[in-house]
């Protein structure tokens, strides 16, 4: 009950912040001031973005010897967006991705390795993207701070996950024993952990071709996220204020997962209006705030909830030749 109340209050904060920003720029009718071409540009950028995130799973799966179809990989990404939108610090994102991948026959150990590979590739290349922006454009160093914090947190969590994964000789910790994870249940945990270690080990031996494909998918999806606001604002506004329209959304997009409240509790919308508002026409501020948040978060969340809730036929778990 407390968890549901927390989620409800957080999402109410999102609604209140959105209404507040819209009122500052003319009310709800301000939502319709943007040209259709701007919407199509932003929508196209985000479609490319989620497909590239799915493609990253495809590449990682190929490295591990697991077949991850692009459709299921993309559905997993959408499910992660949906669950992440209603859980603190997007903590439900990875479990939702794992749920969809498991529904379509991906083994538990491979799922863990896919999530680890995704986090490591993102956390490794984000500082590179920040450095490129700093060197090529007159962007604020403060705006790059959230990306570095996100990278440090992600790499720390990945390191803990790998370190805590039990080996075949491990015994169940006392806490898990008290929760009933003993005997056959613990054996299943150990088997999945061993599968995870093997799959993660394959990721450390990636070929140059796979590294390039993985880097291309990661950098492409980051770039697609960043060009969404310039696409919405239009060429003229973007040309005059490109550093600000790239750097502050960068800060907000990667600072959002560090906010404990689901959906950011309105902090993202308010922060957008405060940080970017001076570089946008006042009459378009409400529309740009709403639609930027819609295309970068709410649209994927809605699609993700559909992916999670619509029942699908569970496929058999993939087996390798060694297991057969």
Higher pLDDT pick, 30 / 304: 304
Instruction: Please report which helix (H) or strand (E) contains residue 42, including its range.
Output: helix 36-64
User: Which residues span the domain enclosing 231?
Assistant: 2-309
- 321 pLDDT band, cuts 50/70/90, is very low
pLDDT, mean of residues 52-81: 93
> Is residue 314 a part of any domain in this protein?
no
Q: Are 55 and 73 in contact (CB under 8 A)?
A: yes
pTM to 2 decimal places: 0.82
pLDDT, mean of residues 161-180: 65
Residue-wise DSSP of 233-271: H-HHHHHHSHHHHHHHHHHHHHHGGGSSSGGGGGHHHHH
pLDDT, mean of residues 141-167: 76
Token duo for residue 104: 């379509």
Please give the share of the chain, as a percent, with pLDDT higher than 90.
25
> Is residue 316 a part of any domain in this protein?
no
Of 82, 61, 71, nearest to 312 (Cα)?
71
> Is residue 202 a part of any domain in this protein?
yes
Please give the share of the chain, as a percent, with pLDDT higher than 70.
74
Higher pLDDT pick, 10 / 224: 224
- At residue 132's C-alpha, the angle toward residues 128 and 138, to 5°, is 140
Range from 44-58, 148-162, 263-277 that averages highest in pLDDT: 44-58
Q: Are 81 and 304 in contact (CB under 8 A)?
A: yes
According to DSSP, residue 278 is labeled G
> Is residue 118 a part of any domain in this protein?
yes
Higher pLDDT pick, 288 / 145: 288
For the chain, state the CA radius of gyration: 21
> Is residue 321 a part of any domain in this protein?
no
Higher pLDDT pick, 299 / 6: 299
Higher pLDDT pick, 260 / 234: 234
Could you give the CA distance from residue 281 to residue 28 in angstroms, rounded to a whole number?
16
pLDDT confidence of residue 274: 82
pLDDT confidence of residue 193: 74
Of 91, 109, 197, 217, nearest to 154 (Cα)?
91
pLDDT surpasses 80 at 258: no
- 314 pLDDT band, cuts 50/70/90, is low
Sign of CA dihedral 74, 143, 147, 221: positive
Which segment of 145-149, 168-172, 251-255 scores lowest on mean pLDDT?
Answer: 168-172
Sign of CA dihedral 131, 254, 34, 275: negative
> Is residue 264 a part of any domain in this protein?
yes
> Is residue 318 a part of any domain in this protein?
no
pLDDT surpasses 90 at 71: yes
> Is residue 194 a part of any domain in this protein?
yes
Of 125, 85, 136, 139, nearest to 248 (Cα)?
139
**3-state SS class at 306:** helix
The domain tally of the chain equals 1
Q: Are 92 and 321 in contact (CB under 8 A)?
A: no
pLDDT surpasses 80 at 219: yes
Query: Phi and psi for 68 in degrees, rounded to 5?
Result: -120, 100
């Amino acid at each position: 009950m407390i968890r549901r109340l927390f989620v409800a209050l957080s999402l109410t904060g999102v609604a209140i912040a959105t209404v507040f920003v819209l009122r500052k720029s003319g009310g709800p009718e301000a939502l319709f001031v943007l040209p259709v071409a701007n919407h199509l540009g932003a929508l196209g950028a985000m479609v490319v973005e989620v497909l590239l995130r799915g493609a990253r799973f495809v590449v990682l799966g190929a490295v591990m010897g697991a077949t991850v179809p692009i459709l299921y990989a993309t559905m997993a990404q959408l499910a992660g967006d949906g669950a992440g939108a209603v859980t603190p610090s997007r903590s439900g994102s990875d479990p939702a991705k794992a749920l969809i991948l498991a529904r379509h026959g991906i083994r538990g150990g491979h799922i863990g390795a896919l999530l680890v590979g995704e986090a490591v590739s993102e956390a490794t290349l984000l500082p590179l993207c920040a450095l490129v922006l700093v060197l090529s454009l007159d962007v604020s160093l403060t705006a790059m701070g959230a990306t570095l914090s996100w990278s440090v947190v992600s790499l720390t969590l990945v390191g803990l996950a790998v370190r805590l994964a039990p080996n075949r000789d491990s015994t169940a910790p006392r806490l898990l024993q008290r929760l009933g994870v003993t005997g056959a249940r613990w054996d299943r945990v150990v088997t999945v952990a061993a599968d995870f270690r093997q799959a993660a080990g394959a990721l450390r031996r990636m070929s140059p071709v796979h590294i390039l494909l993985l880097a291309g998918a990661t950098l492409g999806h980051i770039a697609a996220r960043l060009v969404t606001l310039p696409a919405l604002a239009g060429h003229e506004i973007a040309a005059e204020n490109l550093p600000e329209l790239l750097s502050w959304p960068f800060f907000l997009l990667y600072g959002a997962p560090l906010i404990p409240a689901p959906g950011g509790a309105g902090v993202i919308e308010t922060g957008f209006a405060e940080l970017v508002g001076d570089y946008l026409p006042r009459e378009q501020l409400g529309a740009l705030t709403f639609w930027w948040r819609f295309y970068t978060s709410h649209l994927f969340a809605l699609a993700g909830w559909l992916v999670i809730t619509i029942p699908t036929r569970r496929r058999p778990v993939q087996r390798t030749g060694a297991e057969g």
